[in-house]
Amino acid sequence: MTRRIAHFSDLHYANDTLAEVDACFGHAIDAAIAQHAEVAIITGDTTDHALPVHAPAFAALARQIRRLAEHCPVLMLQGTYSHEPLGTLGVFPLLGGRHPIHVAERIGQVALSSRGQWHASPGWRFDTVPEGCALLCSCLPTLNKGMLAAAVGASHAALAMGEELAQVLHGFAPTHEACRARGIPTVGLSHGTVIGCLTEHGVPMAGLDHEFTAGALFRAGASAFMLGHIHRHQAWQQAGQVIAYPGSIGRLHHGEQGEKGFLLWQVGAHAASATLIPTPARRMVEFAFDGPPDMAALRQWASSQQTEGAWVRVRWTVADTARHLADRDAIAQLFQGAAGLKLEGRVVPTVRARAAGIGRDASLRHQLAHWAEVTGAQAGALCDCLDQLTRHRPEDIASQILLHATHSPTPTDRAAPEAMAPAARALAA
């Protein structure tokens, strides 16, 4: 027996993300229906934050979930509490539709019967495989780390979370083995971070504060393990078992790598496979300059039409004294055809060295020499200039500089007072 399952995750519905995510999720549902998906699973973060029921984003999400339920049974897993506050998903089973919608908010197992009905385990797992089971889903929704920290102490919470979840996963294994013996497909579901996975910006997730290791997930013994939370598609395989993130349904931030989409799974009793089906996520183009923006390069890109309809970000880093070299208006004029433009200029402030104790020096000459020592300037020439300024009028020094700049040396010039020569040479330089 093999089940064709459409796996979505990290929809992040909100009023400000609605245009992107609704277009992508709608396209994904159309594709899932066209591919004859038999079950739809959403592994968390359906919303981006708490939404009032009158919000346009909430209404749009409800319409799309109802569309899914008209086609096949739907299972929704609780995601991150900050994105999807506990209780948010409770309204969706009330939407109706030809097929049932089940919400998994606690650790437990859910069986899909041959008649297309969901049946949840009374405890954290089934003691025996339910009669008529056609698909078994073992659910690990987002857990409350605060409660665990209160019980074991904050310093031990990260390690304890991983150990507890590993035990739960291992506890699911006997039920999965019993299903396998009867030819029933098995699926694990969770919303969390696998140690070593990559974020959508290509950063590896390392450390002890993440929920799972790939080994612990494989030891659960499910043919497929469907994950949410990380916005980049990636997968691990071992002896027919597959663990995979579909990634987010759309592209919401600059710098996100890889295709966006959903996974179409083929899950059997002994093996599974998954294929990423792309969605029409927005294109994002980024230009970064270590210095002022290179207008010639930007003009070439803009004229090549590669940024037409894309979301463009231009970033640059300049010193405080060169901030005027970045012409924001000119850049905006170049990318008029872009769907959106974000300009991020970073100005590095000029750092001036402080000469500690300079105020305690008795004379201006000593203060100047102290400052020159701190900044690496040539104290001799500066002190000579200071001496000339104290002994001669500024007009005489300026006249001497002009004389040297406009006339070649003559015997008369060489007869000029030698005392003014150092100041003239220093100021002219």
Q: Whats the size of the chain, residue-wise?
A: 429
Rounded Cα–Cα distance for residues 375 and 134 (Å) = 78
Q: Where are the alpha helices (DSSP H) in 182-248?
A: 214-219
pLDDT score for 301: 84
Give the CATH H-level superfamily of domain 3-278. Metallo-dependent phosphatases (3.60.21.10)
pLDDT in tens, 266-280: 999 999 999 999 999
Q: pTM for this one?
A: 0.78
Pairing mode, strands 272-278 and 234-238: unpaired
Residue 288 falls in which region: left (phi positive, over 0), alpha (psi -120 to 50) or beta:
beta
Domain ranges of the chain: 3-278, 284-348, 358-428
Q: Which percentage of the chain shows pLDDT scores above 90?
A: 66
First to last CA, the chain: 88
DSSP 118-166: EEE-SSSS-SSPPTTEEEEEEEE----HHHHHHHH-HHHHHHHHHHHHH
Stretch 250-258: mean pLDDT: 92
Q: Which of 382 and 158 is assigned the larger pLDDT?
A: 382
Which residues on neighbouring strands pair with residue 189, listed in sequence order?
139, 226
**Least confidently predicted of 47-51, 221-225, 283-287, 382-386:** 382-386
Closest CA relative to residue 247, chosen from 310, 194, 199, 311: 199
CA angle 259, 260, 261 (to 5 degrees): 120
List pLDDT tens digits, range 30-42: 999 999 999 999 9
Residue 394 confidence (pLDDT) above 50: yes
Kindly write down the DSSP assignment for every residue of 252-277, as one continuous string. Answer: -STT--S--EEEEEEE-SS-EEEEEE
Among residues of the chain, what percentage have pLDDT more than 70?
Answer: 87
Average pLDDT over residues 346-367: 75
Task: Annotate 294-324 with three-state secondary structure.
Answer: CHHHHHHHHHCCCCCCCEEEEEEEEEHHHHH
The span from the CA of 58 to the CA of 351, in Å, is: 50
Segment 264-293 shows an average pLDDT of: 95
On the 0-12 / 13-18 / 19+ scale of CB atoms within 10 A, 351 is: exposed
For the segment 381-392, the average pLDDT, to the nearest whole number, is 86
Taking CA atoms, 96 is separated from 51, 65, 73, 174, 178, in Å, by 21, 10, 11, 34, 33
> Does the pLDDT at position 414 exceed 50?
no
> According to the model, what pLDDT value does residue 429 have?
44
Question: CATH topology for 284-348?
Answer: Double Stranded RNA Binding Domain (3.30.160)
Token digits of residue 66: 């109802």
The predicted model gives 408-412 an average pLDDT of 49
